[in-house]
Amino acid sequence: MLDIKFLRTEPETVKENIRKKFQEEKLPLVDQVIELDTKYRETKTHCDELRNQRNVISKQIGALMGQGKKDEAMQVKEQVAEINAELDRLEVSETELEAEIKKIMMVIPNIIDESVPIGKDDSENVERERFGEPFVPEFEVPYHVDIMENLHGIDIDSARKTSGNGFYYLCGDIARLHSAILSYARDFMIDRGFTYYIPPYMIRSEVVTGVMSFAEMEGMMYKIEGEDLYLIGTSEHSMIGKFIDTIIPEAELPKALTSYSPCFRKEVGAHGIEERGVYRIHQFEKQEMIVVCKPEDSMDWFNKLWNNTVDFFRTLDIPVRTLECCSGDLADLKVKSVDVEAWSPRQKKYFEVGSCSNLGDAQARRLGIRVKGADGKKYLAHTLNNTVVAPPRMLIAFLENNLNADGSVRIPQALRMYMGGKDVIK
């Protein structure tokens, strides 16, 4: 969410940013907010004047009563009653105007970084860099579910009976591999100085609307019936929410955290749920990175975060590339975003396995996350998040890139201690 003062003084900058995101339908919202803001400030000023007037007049009542001027005192009381009635009316208007302004401001997109490429949708995202050589073996690489089934590691049919499409049972060495990857990811991030967390898996609506846009919320979140609770779609939600309405001493920054959680997503939209596969599903697990920092440090942290994911995948012998999200593909709260994509030998192309985002002060403004500087002044923090790893999607890349011709799967050195010393799954 933008600062109303910025929108008030730089309306054309806000409109140009909306055009860059190809959301022309939102252009009228800027003028609408300015008009409402003018009315709000006028109403607030009038309320303040009436309160001051009431205080001055109220002091006269006691003095008049003390002088025995009861009739005059009653007249003054009538004036106070009239002021109170006017105040009640104006305060309702003030509250309504404030709520309407906030509602619209929540929809106006954040100002994107000047380095973000301009494009309408994900088809215009820009490849930045490749790490590792993409390799296609001489033998045919089966579909990932077939690889898992050949290793007696997945049961989708039973999950469809118990839960429907978008769910799965993992078992045996594939289930162990899934857990091993998460354990390795946890230790990988701890070794890089991040504090490990296991957060709540449900959050209140005020946190949901603080960390994401309404459009994302509708397409992702599962609501707990009868309660003000939502299942998290990523641990970023509850980890950023941890700092709601807090003032962090500047000396304690940055907060570099890594968190594990299951994730739950509706996956409503064009992509939908796979009938047979684990790429797009309702339930998965993930290791996440979250940073809360000073504004001037956020871009440095942005680059550190996506590099962590690249380094993690390379230790598992998986080639990856970074893809910068264009303006039209950025969620409204994001300033800048880079996807990490892994190589698929079967498809002979890259696919997304993680996303790194700098949200500037948007989440901090919504949630009230402030920093107290050494000089005592307070300012909004910047927040960032990035995926370390999200199996079972990552399992697709892992299995395809470490598959042997006989159907067995190599276990890279980094994972063997988490797999009981095994160097291959047969």
Q: Where are the domains of the chain?
A: 4-105, 122-425
The single residue of 98, 352, 408, 410 carrying the catalytic annotation is 352
pLDDT-derived band at 182, boundaries 50, 70, 90: very high
Share of the chain above pLDDT 70, in %: 96
Residue 218 known to be catalytic: no
Q: Which CATH number fits domain 122-425: 3.30.930.10, 3.30.1360.10, 3.90.420.10, 1.10.645.10?
A: 3.30.930.10
Mean model confidence pLDDT for the chain: 93
Q: Is the pLDDT of residue 333 over 80?
A: yes
The torsion region of residue 195 among left (phi > 0), alpha (psi -120 to 50) and beta comes to beta
Neighbours of 20 (CB within 10 A): 18
pLDDT digits (tens, 9 = 90+) for 392-409: 889 999 999 999 999 999
Query: What's the pLDDT tens digit per position in 165-180?
Result: 999 999 999 999 999 9
| Average pLDDT over every residue of 230-247 | 96
Contact between residue 362 and residue 110 where contact means Cβ atoms under 8 Å apart: yes
- Output the pLDDT for position 51: 87
Answer whether residue 2 shows pLDDT above 90: yes
**Whether residue 115 has pLDDT greater than 70:** yes
Sign of CA dihedral 258, 260, 264, 270: positive
At 60 the pLDDT is 73
**276 noted as active-site residue:** no
140 is catalytic: no
Q: Can you give the pTM of this predicted structure?
A: 0.90
**59-93 tens-digit pLDDT:** 776 666 667 777 777 777 778 788 888 899 999 99
Predicted local distance difference test score (pLDDT) of residue 190 = 98
Is 265 tagged catalytic?
A: yes
pLDDT at 205 over 70: yes
Catalytic residue among 54, 186, 265, 366: 265
Residue 145: helix, strand or coil by DSSP?
helix
Q: Are 362 and 380 in contact (CB under 8 A)?
A: no
Q: Does residue 352 carry a catalytic annotation?
A: yes
Catalytic residue selected from 355, 357, 365, 400: 355
Residue 9 has pLDDT above 90, yes or no: yes
What is d(CA 98, CA 245) in angstroms, rounded to the nearest whole number? Answer: 19
Do the beta carbons of residue 36 and residue 87 sit within 8 Å?
A: no
DSSP calls for 37-75: HHHHHHHHHHHHHHHHHHHHHHHHHHHHHHTT-HHHHHH
List the one residue out of 403, 386, 153, 182 whose CA is nearest residue 290: 386
Kind of pairing between the strands at 369-372 and 246-249: parallel
Please check whether residue 333 is in contact with residue 363, taking contact to mean a CB–CB distance below 8 angstroms: yes
User: With 80 as the cut, is the pLDDT of residue 290 above it?
Assistant: yes
What percentage of residues in the chain have a pLDDT greater than 90?
A: 83
Q: Is the pLDDT of residue 259 over 70?
A: yes
- Report the topology of domain 4-105: Helix Hairpins (1.10.287)
Q: If you average pLDDT over residues 95-100, what whole number do you get?
A: 95
> Taking 90 as the threshold, does the pLDDT of residue 271 lie above it?
no
Residues 112 and 17 sit within 8 Å (Cβ to Cβ)? yes
**Can you give the pLDDT at residue 309?**
97
- Selecting among 280, 370, 410, 416, the annotated active-site residue is 280
What is the per-residue pLDDT for 70?
73
